[in-house]
Amino acid sequence: MSSSHEGTFDALRSQLREAAASFADGPDALQGILLGIVDDVDRAVGEPLEIFPVCHHSPASATAMARRLREKRPKVVYLELCEDMAPLLTELRNCRLPVAVQAFASEVKGFPADWAPLSVVAPITEASAEYQAIAYALDTPGVELVLVDRSSDHVFQWQDAAEPEPIDADAEALTAGEEVALHGDAVGVEIGDLRPRFAELEEHLLRHGRVRHWSEWWHQYVELPLGDADHDTYRQVMLLIGSLFRRLAPGDPHRVRVDEDRERYMWTRMRRHLAASGADPADCLYVCGAFHAASRVAEFGVHGSDGFEISPRTDTVWQHGLIPSSHAAIEAQFGLAGGSVSIAATLWAKNLKRTGVQPFQLAGQAGAKKRGKAGAKAAAVPAPAAAPADQLSGFLRRPPVLDRLDEDELLGWSVEIVRAARRNGYLASTADAIAVFETSILLAGLRDRAKPTPYDFLDAAVTCIEKDAVPGRRDVRRLVEIMMGGDRIGQVGYDALPPLARDVHDRLAALGLKLEQRGVQRALLDIAGQPQLAGCSDVLWMLRSLLPGGAVRPIMGERGLGGPPPLQESWDLALGTHQRELIQLGYEGVSIEQVLEQRLRRTAGHPQATAATVLGTVEDALRYLRSNRLAQELGTRALDVLVTERGVDGAPEVLRLVRTLLAHYRTAEPVLPGWLESFVKTGYAHYCTRLPMAFTDEDATVRQVGAMLGFLFSMEGLALSLGCDRTQLELAVAQSHPTDQAKTALLWAGQVQLGALTRQELRGRCDALLANPLVLPAYPRYLSGFLHALEPVPNLTDFVVEAVSNAFGRLPDPVLLPWLPTLITTLRGDGAELAPLLIREAGRIFPGRLDVLDSWVPPWLAQPAAAPALRRPGGGPRGLALLAAHPAACDAAAQLLGCEGVWLSVVDEPSGAVLLGEFPQTAVALGRLLTAR
């Protein structure tokens, strides 16, 4: 400590020593804490390199920072912010605050794989001390801004691998929902996170301060008193608070080590910069959190030790950019009360008006309010340098004062909330405005406050205006938050966007929409009349596959394989609302085509990828990128995955995708690609091998087994032409012995398709099921199996209609009605996509008019026409002559049927007729054979 500062806080030390002796059982413990706090303040105040302690998003800190920068005019500003984020700060002028500086890594090297993706964000608002320091340094010639905090890579290096969540003094994991989580799943880095880590201390402060949450306590007991305090008072109070919270923090070894390592890191960086640049510490300013300003590490100060070694960064490649932020996102990420950041913004404007301090703004800052110049001239006059004196003693004893400006503001709030309530359906009047005003003052008095705070006004408004019901969409609490400034949402300007995002905006410029605007916009694409819009359609379809739902949503139009080009499309676009997601695409590549290709490869190459998943990437490669090269690569990967699969979960999706790809290549290409032919051939053998096990596996659903049969039957022709053997399929069906009713019906349908079971035999089995009272409760399961059989055997549609009709026609109501709900739920749940086939077939079979229904006979019950009887030899000379003229045909048919006989020598009758007459069974079998062929 400098000799000029000796004895500055001696009077305060004496008072605290006496208080410790009076209120503690023994003076040692409490005295050590209280005097240690004073020592921390004295040490930080006496440091040659001026330390400026701040609290994140604190209007008092921002006001004091703007005032101090105009007084001191430092040449070097050291800022507690990740050092790798420095190149992005110049882009803040192209954004509308609040925004967040982000470091992002999608692929990790040197960290656990389950941590990916890594993301670190540092939100910045106009009412924050760090923005004032950034704006001053970037727009003042000859001033250098140096970020001295650990890099984004070190944020995760110092995280304990055993802890899944970051445990850092100035970083907390995001837990808010997507509606307020503009920062995504990221670690939020704060400058000056001042909140007690000792739960009992925070509870004590809230209880005795008569407040509900920490944001209200800070506003009442720190923000308001420090809003117009002088520089020395502000510094000493903030240092005292930081030291108090630090000394009363729990002794978590990991957290303490991280805190101290950060302080060693920052002081080491500052000393190295001072040595390299030759800057005078008196011309520098160190902006850091009050928690770190009261540090006790050996490396503290410009004359501290240099024993700290900074570890090298890992091989992880970090991408950096700006993303939009909002008041709600900041509150959710860092555990602040709802509306506290909006209240801070209101208090910031109030402080500027009361103190006359002119804040710093980046030149050309989008969305910034223009400030008057009168205050700038008054505040720019440097104050005379003087040694800091003890300001703590007087500040701690000074009572707060209610001035006239607060009363006028409270009256304005009361009138405005009544006006807003009336617009939202509340029956509020002037009397309610008076009640809110008086109740706010009353609540402040009950809580031992000299003047009402916005939180008192909020409670008073809810009490006086909101009754037992909310007439509109917004309650009074939400109306107060909107009146206080609402959830202000930032925006990243076009020039600050990554190349990919700018390319998207350029390619969609033909739509004539303001894509940066928040909310949903409707885009109408008349591609037939404006062919240049086809390129916009391609971009929108790719964005739909890359961005989350709601960012790009098609209303009219579709993109399929092999289909005709679209004539018109309609889209709902919300790219401004989802700007963060679009910006993060820019971290993965320079164009959306490159990002989509990388994601398809990553999806196909995942160790847990299935054949259906990889085939889906093949479809996307052809549909969005129209790349046969990429499809060939991904298709080969699908073939490798199929060979190693042991389950049949993806069989339905595999069947759908293979049919789609076959239809596309048969219409768009002269020949099928080699990988697709190999996939069909391998898939035929694979599913034949898995079929018997799938029929008996309880985990395999009837839909999956039906999809396997569908693949085998629909791809049979192509597979046989490629060298497969049909005997393999016949053996697989013969070896299948299911116990489930639905799978049994599915097996019967497969046997009909292979010719191992006739329709008449299948009809007989169904009649036997209906005739057995013990089987009737399970009959809907059989119908479910027949319904899924329409996938592999579509020509059984009429038979399924017949089976359902027979059940309704033959069963009495006491039997039919109990299982009718089961039948309906089974058909709806297990085969909803196949039900239209039954409906169309039923519409074809059943009569179309009601008056015909009584005389209508189902086709399966109609008697076939009687076959003409065989005429005696004298009655049919033409047939007999034909047989006599071609005896070899009759001999061949008899040999095929296993009949033995000899031609008789008869003069009157041809020998063939005599043979048929002697063997009537042969004649009947021959007729059936000829009919079947």
- HEC profile for 381-392? CCCCCCCCCCCH
List C-alpha distances in Å: 840 to 125, 195, 330, 399, 844: 63, 69, 57, 85, 6
Please compute the mean of the pLDDT values over residues 265-278 and round it to a whole number: 91
Cα angle 112, 117, 118 (rounded to 5 degrees) comes to: 80
Helix (H, G, I), strand (E, B) or coil at 120: strand
- On the question of pLDDT at 876 being above 50, the answer is no
The DSSP call for residue 165 is: S
List C-alpha distances in Å: 225 to 257, 262, 391, 393, 396: 33, 30, 13, 14, 10
363-395 pLDDT per residue, tens: 877 666 665 543 444 444 444 445 556 666 666
- On the question of pLDDT at 901 being above 70, the answer is no
User: What is the model's pLDDT at position 196?
Assistant: 59
- On the question of pLDDT at 448 being above 70, the answer is yes
Cα separation, 690 vs 601, whole angstroms: 28
In sequence order, what are the residues at sequence separation of 6 or more whose Cβ sits closer than 8 angstroms to the Cβ of residue 869?
A: none
Confidence label for 931 from pLDDT (cuts 50, 70 and 90)? low
pLDDT, mean over the chain = 79
User: What is the model's pLDDT at position 688?
Assistant: 92
- On the question of pLDDT at 12 being above 70, the answer is no
- On the question of pLDDT at 807 being above 90, the answer is no
Whether pTM exceeds 0.75: no
Cα separation, 561 vs 664, whole angstroms: 6
- On the question of pLDDT at 127 being above 90, the answer is no
* Lowest mean pLDDT across 178-187, 228-237, 433-442, 517-526: 178-187
- On the question of pLDDT at 888 being above 60, the answer is yes
Please compute the mean of the pLDDT values over residues 656-683 and round it to a whole number: 90
In sequence order, what are the residues at sequence separation of 6 or more whose Cβ sits closer than 8 angstroms to the Cβ of residue 833?
A: none
In sequence order, what are the residues at sequence separation of 6 or more whose Cβ sits closer than 8 angstroms to the Cβ of residue 102?
A: 119, 120, 121, 122, 183, 186, 320, 321, 322, 323, 583
> Which of 37-51, 761-775, 899-913, 918-932 holds the top average pLDDT?
761-775
Structure-model confidence comparison of residues 665 and 194, the more confident one: 665
712-725 pLDDT per residue, tens: 999 988 998 988 88
Confidence label for 593 from pLDDT (cuts 50, 70 and 90)? very high
317-326 pLDDT per residue, tens: 888 888 888 8
Structure-model confidence comparison of residues 711 and 338, the more confident one: 711
User: What is the model's pLDDT at position 32?
Assistant: 57
User: What is the model's pLDDT at position 637?
Assistant: 93
* Lowest mean pLDDT across 366-380, 583-597, 734-748: 366-380
- On the question of pLDDT at 827 being above 90, the answer is no
Please compute the mean of the pLDDT values over residues 644-648 and round it to a whole number: 86
User: What is the model's pLDDT at position 405?
Assistant: 52
